[in-house]
Structure 1
Amino acid sequence: MEIKHPEWLQIKTSKPILYGYNQEWYKTSFQKTRGCGPTAAAMLLLYLNRREAGALPYQSDSISSITQVLEDVWNFVTPGWLLGLNSTKKFCRGVEALAAHYGLSWQCRELSLSAFKFKRASLSEVVKFLKKGLTSDCPIAFLNLQKGRVASLESWHWIVLVSLSYKESENRYLATCYDGGRLLTFDLGLWLETTRLGGGFVYITVEMSHEKE
């Protein structure tokens, strides 16, 4: 299962194709080192904006226009000096403040995953949340505070999940994400089982009700 238009988050003006946006497009060194959260937020917002026929005054037809969006999103989805944007709650607070600023009722759906394994949602619950987002045609921001045994991931980092598949022969779920221009796939169950700090998932919906998963 996959969002309907993953190509909307791809940049094809260069070779090879860039999968997703890059926090290196920010202006300052501080933004470049801590900008993964607002970068992920910008990807979610621009995808939804295109789906919703330009509800936000944003353009995404070039790296230059996307960079302008990144700067605006930073004003709302703002990382802290010490820990950056280290929770789904902070991410959602900023996104919803941005939406309200532009007169929109867009809301976040979040699934926070504790550092304590016994408090975390199960794999089936995580899959249910992700499926709900993807079938609603929403890319999903993924906060990975610690990568566990998943070598392809980067700890303390936000990326954007665009598809989820089940590999029956190996009994595992594979999540495909865009991260700073690269395409990566990882074992969702392995991450959930081995991460030492947890993280979470967020997607944005245009529905009026505000429910937390």
Structure 2
Amino acid sequence: MQIKHPDWLQIHRQQCGVLYGYNQDWYRTSFQRTRGCGPTAATMLLVYLNRRQPGSLPYEAGSLTAIADILEEVWSFITPDRLLGLNSTGKFCEGADRLLSHYGLSWRCQRLGVNALRKRRPSLGEIVRFLETALAADYPVAFLNLHRGKVAELESWHWMVITGLRYENAQDRYQITCYDNGRCLTVDLGLWLQTTRFGGGFVYIELPENHE
């Protein structure tokens, strides 16, 4: 399964083809560019929901310049720490809640943390159900990966956005599709959960019932 309109988070450019998701390198300062993956993921979630509910936010992502302006606006609410960045789903949601309150929106953050201690982590099944709930309702999911484990495709201490999930019966594994700084990645979810040292988590922003 996947969100209904993954193309809403794609940018088509003649020079470099399709960019999958936004890039933290579009921030204006070097500090923002090194810490900006969390606000970048949040921007993607918010822009997507604003396409579903046009006019809810003053975000028109029609050009790279416009997206860069939105990134700056989101940063002012969802602001990474100078040392650790945006290193928890709680910090992500606190900032998102401030932004949503500022605009008078009753959208809500839903989050599932993955503890560094293995015995306190949710099971793979619980994570899959969380993702299925989000994707079935057409919500992209922000994914915090504090340590990539044995998943070579991932970058540690990093946020990206999940747009799809599928089960591969032959390999008995769940694969997630992630947009990350212009790339489209396929990640073995179970392998990440089994091998990550520091955990991470998942966040989506939910529209109220009967909002549409």
- Normalising TM by the smaller chain, what interval? over 0.9
Deviation of 1:133 (Å): 0.4
Partners of 1:204 and 1:160 in 2: CA distance: 12
Deviation of 1:125 (Å): 0.3
1:6 alignment partner in structure 2: 6
Deviation of 1:53 (Å): 1.7
Corresponding letter in the other structure for 2:178 = C
- Which structure 1 residue ranges, 5 or more long, are not aligned? 209-213
1:185 alignment partner in structure 2: 186
- Which structure 2 residue ranges, 5 or more long, are not aligned? none
Partners of 1:144 and 1:23 in 2: CA distance: 16
The normalised TM-score by structure 2 is 0.97
Partners of 2:102 and 2:13 in 1: CA distance: 32
1:94 alignment partner in structure 2: 95
1:105 equivalent to 2:106? Answer: yes
Partners of 2:104 and 2:42 in 1: CA distance: 18
Corresponding letter in the other structure for 1:144 = N
Written as runs of structure 1 = structure 2, the 5 A alignment for 1:145-184 is 145-184=146-185
Corresponding letter in the other structure for 1:74 = W
Partners of 1:137 and 1:176 in 2: CA distance: 14
C-alpha offsets along residues 142-196 of structure 1, whole Å, 9 cap, x if unaligned? 0000000000000000000000000000000000000000010010000000000
Corresponding letter in the other structure for 1:33 = T
1:129 equivalent to 2:144? Answer: no
* Greater Cα offset, 39-48 or 7-16: 7-16
The normalised TM-score by structure 1 is 0.96
C-alpha offsets along residues 78-110 of structure 1, whole Å, 9 cap, x if unaligned? 000000000000000101110110111111000
Secondary structure of 1:177's aligned partner: strand
Deviation of 1:13 (Å): 2.6
Partners of 1:204 and 1:17 in 2: CA distance: 25
Partners of 1:12 and 1:91 in 2: CA distance: 28
Deviation of 1:207 (Å): 1.9
1:144 alignment partner in structure 2: 145
Secondary structure of 2:156's aligned partner: coil
Partners of 1:13 and 1:65 in 2: CA distance: 15
1:81 equivalent to 2:82? Answer: yes
- Over aligned residue pairs, what C-alpha RMSD do you find? 0.8
Partners of 1:185 and 1:136 in 2: CA distance: 21
Instruction: Provide the aligned length of Structure 1 versus Structure 2.
Output: 208
Secondary structure of 1:141's aligned partner: strand
Secondary structure of 2:167's aligned partner: strand
Partners of 1:109 and 1:13 in 2: CA distance: 33
Corresponding letter in the other structure for 1:188 = L
